[in-house]
Structure 1
Amino acid sequence: MTICRLHTITRYSEVVIHNGTVYLSGQLAEDLRGDIRQQTRETLANIDQFLAEAGTDKKHLLSATIYLKDIAQDYAGMNEVWDAWLPSGAAPARTTVEAKLYAPEVRVEISIVAATKPHKS
């Protein structure tokens, strides 16, 4: 089986595709000055971009792991944006945890696993 890696640097690849499954590394917002809603919107936009590059989309999500800097403060705001972004009937298995993230400005990081789209014959 071929393993395809996209946007690879020494420590990780942003996207790995193997055996019909797409794995995204933890995604962050570009602008870390915003509140949880803005950071979540930007993070999900990055996820959309990488899923498209891998030939799939958010309708094919399998699982999501969401890391929040402060779950008590940010859970509701993140969910508001997440719920608006997620297509009806396409909710993945999901885990949300509070975590110490790599920089104090980071409020949310999201890792995704998705299925590739079926090939049309």
Structure 2
Amino acid sequence: MSIQRLHTEKRYSEIVIHNGTVYLAGQLADDYAGDIRQQTRETLANIDRLLAEAGSDKSKILGLTIFLRDMADYAAMNEEWDAWVAEGAAPARACVEARLYDPRVRVEMTLTAAL
């Protein structure tokens, strides 16, 4: 079975597709100056775009991990998530507080989805 890698850089690929499964690297907002709501919306929009490129969509997400800079943002992030997640297709999910690579980043998400 072949492995397809898209948007590959030296250290990572944005998308890896193997055996009917899509893996996305950690996704961030485009503008780190925004609040948690804006950063969450932008992160989810990037996920939508990459899943579409891979031939999948949010209704096929199997598992997702959310990294928050501060758990105080949990409720606001969840409001954006709840408005976005496909009805009846909530994935297995974890959310943890983490020190992210840039102090302006409030949220990062990584996921696995079916094709």
Normalising by structure 2, what TM-score? 0.99
1:26 alignment partner, SS class: strand
Structure showing greater Rg: 1
**Distance in 2 separating the partners of 1:85 and 1:96:** 16
Letter in 2 for 1:34: G
Aligned to 2:22: 22
C-alpha separation between the residues in 2 aligned to 1:83 and 1:93? 14
SS in 2 for 1:42: helix
User: What root-mean-square deviation, in Å, do the aligned CA atoms of Structure 1 and Structure 2 show?
Assistant: 0.3
1:84 aligns with 83
**Which one-letter code corresponds to 1:96 in the other structure?**
C
- Tell me which residue corresponds to 1:44: 44
Unaligned runs of 5+ in 1: 117-121
Structure 1 residues 1-121: aligned runs within 5 Å = 1-71=1-71, 73-116=72-115
Q: Quote the sequence identity (%).
A: 69
CA offset at residue 49 of structure 1? Answer: 0.3
TM-score by length of 1: 0.94
| Aligned-pair CA distance for 1:87 | 1.1
Tell me how far apart the structure 2 counterparts of residues 82 and 112 of structure 1 sit (CA, whole Å). 14
Task: Give deviations 1:66-102, integer Å, cap 9, x for gaps.
Answer: 000001x100010000000001100000000000000
Structure 2 counterpart of 1:119:
none
Aligned-residue offset at 1:44: 0.2
Residues of 2 paired with 1:42 and 1:58: CA distance? 15
Ranges in structure 2 where 5+ consecutive residues have no aligned partner:
none
Q: Secondary structure at the match of 1:113?
A: strand
Rounded to whole Å, the distance in 1 between the matches of 2:113 and 2:86 is 14
Q: Which amino acid aligns with 1:91?
A: A
